A = this chain, B = another copy of it.
Amino acid sequence: MDEKLKDLLRCVKEGTTSVEEACEYLKDMPFQDLKHTKIDHHRAVRKGMGEVVFGEGKTFKQIVDIVKAMREKRLDVLVTRIDKEVGTKLLKKFPEGIYNEDARCFYIKEDMAVKGKGMILIVSAGTSDNKVAEEAYVTSMFFGNKTEKLHDVGVAGIHRLFQNLDILKKARVIIVTAGMEGALPSIVAGIVGVPVIGVPTSVGYGASFGGLTALLAMLNSCSTISVFNIDNGFGAAYYATLINRL
């Protein structure tokens, strides 16, 4: 398959194949098979963004295999949901990478171009929601977005939010993480005119049911927000990136 790829690129170089044709062609090419995982190098082409490894439930060896395969293609790579131990071991194998403990993410990023058109703002309701917010932050940075944070502005002291209207109004897309009653995204979406993405977090106890209450609250928002799965900071930032590149 690599041979085909080279031929194709040679044709592009020589001008016998246009970029558009090559691009179309690449979208139909198969994936790379590591036995345990089929890496989808072409997603980068098809979706315009690099492969991301969901680290949870994968062995260290599996993760290393995937990262190695991607590094051989000189692709940037992001591994999410890995604890400190795995992160530290990855750093030894790939010293060019960075491990962010709060976000539980490891990444190698060489392409430093800013790709999104505006700024993505990550807002969190309370100190404990920061982890999910941080996962969103790292992901958003990784995909080349200008990204800012606003922490600990939950509804119990809503004046803290109103003192930050400036930054809210500068964002092109806003991600709001909130646990417990999950009300903050509704408030934010009632103030701004850009798309707001709500990410319920599993922060809470008793009748929070591991984030279910925040999830349901966001789905029933009387402001209009879009919602992601509990603790899915990555997904929200990926989606914000899609919007920010439009």
**Interface of A toward B, CB cutoff 8 Å:** 28, 30-31, 36-38, 40, 43, 46-48, 56-58, 62, 117-118, 125-128, 130, 151-160, 163, 172, 180-183, 186-187, 189-195, 197, 200, 202-232, 235, 238-239, 242-243, 246
How far does the alpha carbon of A47 sit from the alpha carbon of B188 in the complex, in Å?
12
A36 with B181: CB separation less than 8 A: no
B224 with A227: CB separation less than 8 A: no
How far does the alpha carbon of A62 sit from the alpha carbon of B102 in the complex, in Å?
14
| B residues near A38, Cβ cutoff 8 Å | 151-153, 157, 160
Known: A193-B48, A243-B246. Contact between A228 and B219, CB under 8 A?
yes
How far does the alpha carbon of A192 sit from the alpha carbon of B208 in the complex, in Å?
24
B222 with A213: CB separation less than 8 A: no
| B residues near A221, Cβ cutoff 8 Å | 156, 180-181
Expressed in whole angstroms, the minimum distance between the Cβ of A69 and any Cβ of chain B is 14
Q: Select from chain B the residue with minimum beta-carbon distance to A206.
A: B230
Q: Which of B48, B205, B229 contacts A231 (CB 8 A)?
A: B205
How far does the alpha carbon of A160 sit from the alpha carbon of B202 in the complex, in Å?
31
How far does the alpha carbon of A236 sit from the alpha carbon of B156 in the complex, in Å?
16
A151 with B36: CB separation less than 8 A: yes
Expressed in whole angstroms, the minimum distance between the Cβ of A179 and any Cβ of chain B is 8
| B residues near A217, Cβ cutoff 8 Å | 181-183, 213, 216-217
How far does the alpha carbon of A221 sit from the alpha carbon of B236 in the complex, in Å?
12
New contact pairs (11) apart from A31-B160, A181-B217, A207-B211, CB-CB < 8 Å: A28-B159, A56-B128, A56-B205, A183-B183, A205-B229, A206-B210, A206-B211, A217-B217, A219-B229, A226-B226, A243-B246
